[in-house]
Amino acid sequence: MTPKIKILSFVILSIQNILCETAINKTIHIGPTLQRTLFKADDTLVLSNVIFRHGDRYPEPAHFYSNDPNKNRSVFPYKFGELTRTGQTRMFMIGKQLKLRYANFLGDTYYTDLVESTTSDYPRTQMSLQSLHAGLFLTMKPNTIPGFLWKPVPYRIIPWSEDKYLAAYKPCLAILLNLTYPPIPPDVQDLFNYVKMHTGVSQISYHEMWVLADYAKTMIETNIPIPEWHKKIYPNPLAPLSAKYLDMLRIQKRRIGGAYLVKRISDDALAKRDNTLVPPNRKLFLYSAHDFTILFLRSALNIWTAEPCEYGAYVLLELHKIGPEYGFKVYFNNGYTKPQLQTIPGCGTFCPLDEFIQMFRHLYEPPPICK
């Protein structure tokens, strides 16, 4: 590498880093010094797990209905269900936020044992993970190859057929098929009939209300027009019915959707404490997932709230060592100024590891319907 190329590469990376930090600061309206203070992790941190929802996406192709005027529409060079440019930018910025939080913890040198990154088998989660990697690791040593404004970081994809952790429906489809719905009030039945008439879908339930609400939201976000009949029922009454469906699903599936992930994170924490984690210098686990993943995980940990899970929302399960005690601190960020420390009912804001495992041991075995 010639001296001129070295200088040019350094200048480009420096400018990019300054622009990205400026963009984050502008987005949340605070200065860079306070920004670092807000995001900085505690010095007691020994291992972190970041579980995040993918970034902004195009409408899910499975949500198109029989009479849909948009089902043959093209969004080339993208595809329906994939990450948008806005989504790529959002995840890059979240990577920068995590860099600010974990700068001291991770150090300034990237090596493959530092992080294990896992994604579900969807293009949008894979693209989100790569975008977050760019924000988190790009400016770390060793310097990138001249002309390459990215740093290759390995990750693994869990095939759909094997995914018990991130694809929230996979572990137990039976629980979804056997979801118990409350009696349908007359006004809701009228809405079901209205939707059935306009969509051509023969069987309508609360699940379809969620589908149509999500469909309308993503269509509007990506500037794709929705039919007039759909505009008349979105956001109201579709959005409240969608929220009701998610709550029913959360209550009935909490033991499944977040259970496998809680067990895995607990096992890794035990291995870290007992010096059996492989590799021993692993500091970070990244999980690129979905809104349902976040919903069920927070519900399993008893820290669920009714607010919708936004694009890029993330949960941090941080293992800390305070004195001789290892334990979890759990944070949630749903587009807030900074990650919010959560209180685990019955265990507080710092939950000793053995107590955490005892408290959530009931999640480690799936119910008989899933075996």
**What secondary structure, in 3-state letters, does 163-198 show?**
CCCCCCCHHHHHHHHCCCCCCCCHHHHHHHHHHHHH
| Rounded to 5°, angle at Cα 147 from 21 and 153 | 65
Tell the residue number behind the tokens 């039945």, with chain if given. Answer: 189
Please tell me the distance from the alpha carbon of residue 89 to that of residue 233, in angstroms, as a whole number: 31
What domains can you pick out in the chain, each with its CATH number? 3-65+75-172+254-370 (3.40.50.1240), 174-248 (no CATH)
Q: Which one, of 337, 330, 334, 289, lies nearest residue 307 by Cα?
A: 334
pLDDT in tens, 120-169: 999 999 999 999 999 999 889 887 777 777 789 999 999 988 888 898 66
**Would you give the DSSP letter of residue 278?**
S
Give the model's pLDDT for residue 368.
Answer: 62
Mean pLDDT, rounded, for 38-46: 85
Give the model's pLDDT for residue 202.
Answer: 87
pLDDT in tens, 221-243: 999 999 999 999 999 999 999 99
Give the model's pLDDT for residue 336.
Answer: 84
The structure's pTM equals: 0.88
Please tell me the distance from the alpha carbon of residue 175 to that of residue 362, in angstroms, as a whole number: 17
pLDDT in tens, 158-206: 998 888 889 866 656 666 666 777 888 999 999 999 999 999 898 888 8
Query: Band of the pLDDT at 24, cuts 50, 70, 90?
Result: very low
Q: Which amino acid is at 80?
A: F
